[in-house]
């Protein structure tokens, strides 16, 4: 039966046709920017699409707390121990170090593959146990949110969030959409450093949102990918969650350590769901573990060990808090510098929103035609919605960026109508 092994045989038509109907998938709107940037050989090119921190030289950063943790963890834990430690410390970070939830064991928490994995896990959980429900996503939101809930076969609806005219939170519209949603709807909320707008509700507005959620019996699911990156204060950035908890809500939360610990390649995250009691938490956790088992079983252990060590060690945690503040301060300086330079150039556009917004991104107001010109003429890359990653702005390139923005917006931020 093996006599024809050395003979090259043509692929049969039936075998050749198995995957002929598979089209090329559309490029991810964020990852595609980086791919195009990498192929560009221009020495002045700037990548403002990446959602990870970069230093003053535009390079990825390995935090000192991560380096020190890495030197301490070799062989220290087994996988199960790191999982438990990661969840416990993540819950404390999100809900409060002294939160009663930890003592009452009312939180069902599992490790996840960063924030994306946590959202995907919750979306599947929602589909199985609230099959008639939709997910309400803000306009705009992180583009991958739509894909995550779509692939989980969960119907999507939207609620208004951003006012493009004033470049600020459209609070009245947001509240109106929450009020008009059917009772017991599920909403995705960004608790801090909203992606892509960089605009968060005030503490008083969060209280009003929480009150209306309680009236309507809605379920809040928080995607907290940027804790620390809004204000530089990890506790302040979790204020929205604490408000909802104090109002008696049961909530869900996706956490990621990709941004605030610079662990993009490690994919470390946590999904937690606050339940009514311990019995409910045990049931929910068992289902989350069951779903994760079929998807990816368990996340890699190394990243979980790094995060657990940093959050468990008082000195390392203090160093981490200091480094997070340093990253936020650098981004804030770049916001101010870019704004000042645009004003000095005499731009006809009011760029105050650059410094009013917070977090990693600036929702610039640029239209696709401006983005096209920036890419084509100046080799500056960003997503088509005009979102700029301020982490990509440095002292070395801010003059070049300001001049490019000035050139492409001489006629304002209103896109020209399509001809023909």
Q: Is 259 a catalytic residue?
A: yes
Q: Which helix (H) or strand (E) covers residue 94, if one does?
A: helix 79-95
CA distance 264 to 364: 25
Q: Which of 167, 259, 285, 341 is catalytic?
A: 259
CA distance 323 to 53: 12
What does the block give as tokens for 24?
A: 């090329």
Q: Which of 142, 149, 206, 320 is catalytic?
A: 142
CA distance 390 to 397: 12
Q: Is 142 a catalytic residue?
A: yes
Rg (alpha carbons) of the chain, rounded to whole number: 23
Identify the DSSP state of 257.
-
Residues with Cβ within 8 Å of 312's Cβ and at least 6 positions away in sequence, in order, are: 85, 89
Polymer length of the chain: 420
Cβ burial, residue 25 (10 Å; 0-12/13-18/19+): exposed
- Give the CA angle between residues 116, 117, 120 to the nearest 5°: 85
Per the listing, tokens 């809900």 go with: 95
Backbone angles phi, psi at 305, to 5 degrees: -65, -40
DSSP for 275-327? Answer: -SSHHHHHHHHHHHHHHHHHHTSS--HHHHHHHHHHHH-HHHHHHHHHHHHHH
Q: Which of 223, 285, 351, 367 is catalytic?
A: 223
CA distance 301 to 117: 15
List residues with catalytic annotation: 142, 223, 259
């Amino acid at each position: 039966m093996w006599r024809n092994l050395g003979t090259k045989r043509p692929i049969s038509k039936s075998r050749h046709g198995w995957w002929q109907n598979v089209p090329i998938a559309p490029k991810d709107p964020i990852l595609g920017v980086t791919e195009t940037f990498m192929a560009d050989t221009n020495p002045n090119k700037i990548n403002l699409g990446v959602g990870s921190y970069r230093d003053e030289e535009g390079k990825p950063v390995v935090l000192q707390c991560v380096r020190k943790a890495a030197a301490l963890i070799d062989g220290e834990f087994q996988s199960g121990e790191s999982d438990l430690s990661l969840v416990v410390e993540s819950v404390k970070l999100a809900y409060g170090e002294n939160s009663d939830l930890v003592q009452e064991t009312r939180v069902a928490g599992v490790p996840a593959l960063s924030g994306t994995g946590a959202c995907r896990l919750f979306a599947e959980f929602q589909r199985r146990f609230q099959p008639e429900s939709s997910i309400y996503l803000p306009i705009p939101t992180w583009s991958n949110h739509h894909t995550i809930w779509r692939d989980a076969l969960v119907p999507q609806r939207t609620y208004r969030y951003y006012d493009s005219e004033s470049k600020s939170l459209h609070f009245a519209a947001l509240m109106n959409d929450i009020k008009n949603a059917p009772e017991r709807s599920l909403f995705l909320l960004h608790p801090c450093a909203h992606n892509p707008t960089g605009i968060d509700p005030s503490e008083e507005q969060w209280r009003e949102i929480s009150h209306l959620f309680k009236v309507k019996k809605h379920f809040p699911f928080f995607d907290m990918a940027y804790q620390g990156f809004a204000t530089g204060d990890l506790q302040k950035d979790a204020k929205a969650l604490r408000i909802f908890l104090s109002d008696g809500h049961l909530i869900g939360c996706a956490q990621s350590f990709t941004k605030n610990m610079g662990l993009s390649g490690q994919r470390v995250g946590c999904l937690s769901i606050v339940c009514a009691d311990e019995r409910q938490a045990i049931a929910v956790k068992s289902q989350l573990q069951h779903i994760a088992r079929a998807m990816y079983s368990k996340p890699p252990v190394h990243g979980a060990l790094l995060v657990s060590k940093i959050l468990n060690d008082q000195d390392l945690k203090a160093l981490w808090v200091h480094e997070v503040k340093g990253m936020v301060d650098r981004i804030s300086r770049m916001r101010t510098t870019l704004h000042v330079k645009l004003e000095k150039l005499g731009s006809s556009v009011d760029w105050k929103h650059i410094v009013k917004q917070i977090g990693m991104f600036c929702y610039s107001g640029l239209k696709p035609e401006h983005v096209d010109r920036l890419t084509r003429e100046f080799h500056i890359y960003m997503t088509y919605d005009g979102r700029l990653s301020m982490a990509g702005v440095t002292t070395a390139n801010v003059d070049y960026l300001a001049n490019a923005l000035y050139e492409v917006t001489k006629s304002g931020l209103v896109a020209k109508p399509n001809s023909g």
